[in-house]
Each structure stands twice: as C-alpha cells, then as structure tokens.
Amino acid sequence: MTRGGQAGFFLLGSGCVLAQAQASSIHDTPPVTIAGKNPPETRTAVAAGVGTGLMAKVEVEAEGRPRRVHILNPDGYGHDEAARQAIAEWRFRPATRSGQSVAASTIVELRFGLFAPGFGG
C-alpha cells in the first residue's frame, strides 16, 4: 500500500494495482503500476464532507503508457476527472505474453477523503 501526500488519498495493492487480468501461462504477466503521482482531493468533496473509493479500468500500451482510463463507479464530486488526469501521467511495467510486451488492461482502486486511512487525524 502506498499513501499519497494529498489529503485523504491512498492507493491499494502492489504498485497501486488492485486487480489484474489473469495471466494465461506462467510466463505471462499483467501490467503493473511503477510510477505516478497521486491526484489531489477535490474542493467539492471536501466542502461536502464526503469520501469515496473509485475503481478505474486502465488500458496500458505495450510501452507502459496508459492509453485509456475508464472510471467504473463515478461519484460526481470531481474525483473522476482528478483520477483520470493523474492516471494519464502514470507509467506501468507492461503486460507480457511469451516474453514480449503487449497492450493489456488492469483495474486500479483509488480512495479519497473519509474512506482513506488516517483521514481527519
């Protein structure tokens, strides 16, 4: 688990990856997050006193760059766009198939505000 420097935000899982597509053989691997900055908490959510957890499907290119980010459970407090913008800057170790880098998708979980450990103290 990595805790971000922004208020009430952290990432779950090894290298920020919560869930991954199943590898089809022992030599295949899914994409793994290796670098990226945490998105900030949004003013709208802070003013409303809400926290949330978002799940995002990230399509990762064979070069390790995110190609598309789809928020699976939008919250309406600005977290969706903050997460999209942050993930667009992340870098991944790409998935491999038979030792070759390939494009693949992974799921990441982002938690903001009241759901984040240590929030409020």
For the chain, the structural domain boundaries read 2-115
**Amino acid occupying residue 110:** L
Q: Model pTM greater than 0.75?
A: no
> Is pLDDT at 90 greater than 60 in this prediction?
yes
Cα separation values, 121 from 11, 28, 116, Å = 18, 42, 11
Q: What is the mean pLDDT of residues 25-36?
A: 81
Q: Which amino acid is at 29?
A: T
Topology of domain 2-115, CATH:
TolA/TonB C-terminal domain (3.30.2420)
**Cα separation values, 95 from 21, 72, 92, 106, Å:** 10, 21, 9, 9
Mean pLDDT of 112-116: 58
Mean pLDDT of 88-103: 95
Instruction: pLDDT band for 9, please (50, 70, 90 cuts).
Output: very low
What is the structure's pLDDT at 113?
63
